[in-house]
Every structure is written in structure tokens, then in C-alpha cells.
Amino acid sequence: MIQQKEITLPSYSRGYHIITSEITKNLKELPENGLLHIFIKHTSAGLSINENADPSVTIDFETFMKQLVPEDSSLYTHTMEGTDDMPAHIKSSLFGFSLTIPITNHKLNMGTWQGIYLCEFRNRSNNRKLVLTVYS
């Protein structure tokens, strides 16, 4: 059986935001076993699973990505939407646009210190849409 739902997240500031509770509160009862697939419908934001306990992780993400994919670079030709636009597209490709998480005993089967992150790469963002698909 397949369940699918599209949700709209509130607008988040630039950075890395744990959205695990946003995801779980929008899902009906999960099957005993299965998979949750999460797809983000945007090219300037991404998804990640990472450390959910220490907030310094998000600071390190931002610091590293600023060095890896700098803004205001003469390398980019796609600049009509601002100096953060092309770097956001590159970061989105590096982080990825989807996640697949196992479901076991009616719960997401993630590690103790794992959380689902929305990676917002634009300085000014709008609401982000996610498609949640549960396979059982």
C-alpha cells in the first residue's frame, strides 16, 4: 500500500533546520514495516539526515559550505535572482533532494542522534513543499 501527502513547511531562515517533528506530525499512523520517502520540490534547498543534539553542527555546515561554494563569485553566470541563487542550486545538488527512511514497528527507524534537516540555502526563502510517500 502507498500513502502520499504533500506538505508545506513554514518559511525558514537560511541555515539548517531540524524538521523531524514537522514530518512525523503530518503522517498518519505508520505501517509496522515499510519506507518513508521525502522529496523536496525545490532547487535551492536540500534535505539531510544528521546529528540532532548539538546545535554547533549547523554552524559547521554553514561555515564549510560557504568555503566550498562561495557566493559573489565571478564563476557563476546564473545570477539574475541574486548572488545566493546559483550557490544555492549547487548546494542543493550536493546535499540532495530526497531521503528514504526505514519504518520499523510503526516508527521511523533512525539512530538516536539522527534528525531530518531542511537545508535552506537562500537568504530569503519562501515556504518549501515536501512530498511524503509511505510504502508498506
Q: Which residue in 80, 61, 84, 81 sits closest to 71, CA to CA? A: 84
Query: Residue 54 belongs to a domain with what CATH number?
Result: 2.60.120.460
Q: How many domains does the chain have?
A: 1
Question: Could you tell me the pTM of the whole model?
Answer: 0.95
- Domain range enclosing 41: 2-135
Distance CA 95, CA 128 (A): 16
High-pLDDT (> 70) share of the chain, %: 100
Distance CA 65, CA 121 (A): 10
Whether the pLDDT of residue 28 is over 90: the answer is no
pLDDT at 125: 84
Distance CA 91, CA 88 (A): 5
Q: Which residue in 43, 93, 50 sits closest to 68, CA to CA? A: 93
